[in-house]
Structure 1
């Protein structure tokens, strides 16, 4: 939600007012509930997770209404609620509405999100160090 709003998007303030109560995105009073998430074929998130449908732990009463600049919808709930967006021009910006941290310990699909984040950070760090080393080596060569 924060990424979407930061990029100029808007939210449904209270999801049950929009989609009704037949499909729960959280249980009363404020408990998570599992529900199906359908990924959009061809998105980076679908490529990362390797399947188009899975159960996720949901715990929200707000959701994306108008999608922010540059974002692409990557997943929906069966009731049409946007469950994930991504920034196609960015190497790793996925924003999910569900809570992968609640089930990652027992669900390899949810753990894959965290694994990919860590691997991407490690690659970025390695590239940054390599660029810095190359720049410093060039500066030392100029002094010689």
Structure 2
């Protein structure tokens, strides 16, 4: 096939005073997709489901990017005082788009809040504030040190195992929410030594779905992290070929 097209959701800021509303996405996300030999396509936060389905008809896979916090009230939980919710327009769009992605089994890679959204959409839930929910956990966010990192324990035979192999791995960490109850069909494929979930992968052969709590696109990522995006694009290509053969 020609280069696959990967859709990216984007962050959103409502108009404030003389500043108009605008969407934006960190360059690290689309630069990583380009380096992995795919074409990124940034999707605006439309409201119509038919429009979202048409968007998904155009792309071969979806990268669900990170950002602020998912609003737990939308999942039946109370709002913790430490939560800084996404802009409502982005969150409404992200949640609707994620449902369609999951229903249609579009190959997907969720990063940070994107992984949390993938888990919630498929029936899992979240820790709202690690220091309270898991008091014995290591620090996962440092307000002073943006380079904060911790080690990772990777499950043998997983995609992340193919990427990183043996040896100690340290990844960036800047979150206070995390996956708690895992969605059905997924497996935990990486954890922090304190037990906080750092990566999940769908286990069925019919769908490529991957999530990382850490950010392999960030400036604080290692050169090896780029391999995750390459594996994602390979999975997208394999899915495209399987769909073509069935058709």
C-alpha distance in 2, partners of 1:21/1:44?
28
> TM-score normalised to the size of structure 1?
0.75
Q: Is the 8 A contact 1:44 1:88 kept in 2?
A: no
In the superposition, relative to structure 1, how do residues 92 and 31 fare at CA in structure 2: closer, same or farther (>3 Å)?
same
- The 1:48/1:82 distance shift into structure 2, 3 A limit, reads same
Question: 2 CA distance for matches of 1:13 and 1:32?
Answer: 23
Compute the displacement of 1:66 (Å): 0.6
Report what 2:194 is aligned to. 79
The number of equivalent residue pairs is 131
How do residues 64-143 of structure 1 correspond to structure 2 at under 5 angstroms?
Answer: 64-90=179-205, 92-103=208-219, 107-126=222-241, 128=243, 131=245
**TM-score of the superposed pair, with normalisation by structure 2:** 0.46
Please give the root-mean-square deviation of Cα atoms over the aligned residues, in Å: 2.7
Question: What corresponds to 1:13 in structure 2?
Answer: 128
Q: Assess if the C-alpha contact under 8 Å between 1:25 and 1:32 holds in 2.
A: no
Instruction: Rate the CA distance shift 1:61–1:76 in 2: closer, same or farther, 3 A.
Output: same
Larger Cα Rg: Structure 1 or Structure 2? Answer: 1
8 Å CA contact 2:140–2:175 kept in 1: the answer is: yes
Kept after mapping to 2: 8 A contact 1:57/1:103: no
Q: Which runs of 4+ in 1 moved over 6 A?
A: none
Instruction: Looking at secondary structure, tell me which structure has more helix per residue.
Output: 1
